[in-house]
A = this chain, B = another copy of it.
């Protein structure tokens, strides 16, 4: 197990309905040392890619994306859910369904912050059905920018998102892929990945 799988095995809580709670260290309370290590690991995995921007979606991707952007020495941009009066009309827009919240959101990125010259690394905390990532990919492509890769902290391997994104040909790195969870025993089965 890598550092993240070990932490999930130790502190993750399995709930009925395929819910994995990692809110004590990842997406409600954040263990900053762990998030820094995640930042360094994504930097290692995407080393050599000419990344100019890190892109994520609010809210729980923001902290992680910050530390990835720090490693690359580039700005971080987060897509905003719902249109705020503080975002100008000139935005890239995508429709995203949330598995967690069971609702639809429009997510927007101001056109000022993505353009054809950009090489984008997309970062998020979870990958389940892939809707959020597909929304972010569509925003990058609307901008004429290049998707250099996608970095996910926890992929739910029993949902379709990972396969959809890989089948589309995008380089996708998930630090942990959960293939099964048992709410009775709290056992979590991680997919074996070849260490690069």
Contacts and interface: CB of A to CB of B under 8 A. Distances in A.
Interface of A is mostly: mixed
Contacts of A109: 28
B101 A82 contact: yes
Nearest to A74: B32
Interface stretch (A83-91, A155-163, A166-174): A83-91
A86 B30 contact: no
Interface in A81-133: 81-82, 84-87, 100-102, 109-110, 112-113
A14 interface: no
B75 A59 contact: no
A75 B11 CA distance: 15
11 contacts: A19-B86, A24-B112, A28-B113, A30-B76, A32-B66, A32-B74, A58-B60, A58-B62, A59-B62, A66-B66, A85-B100
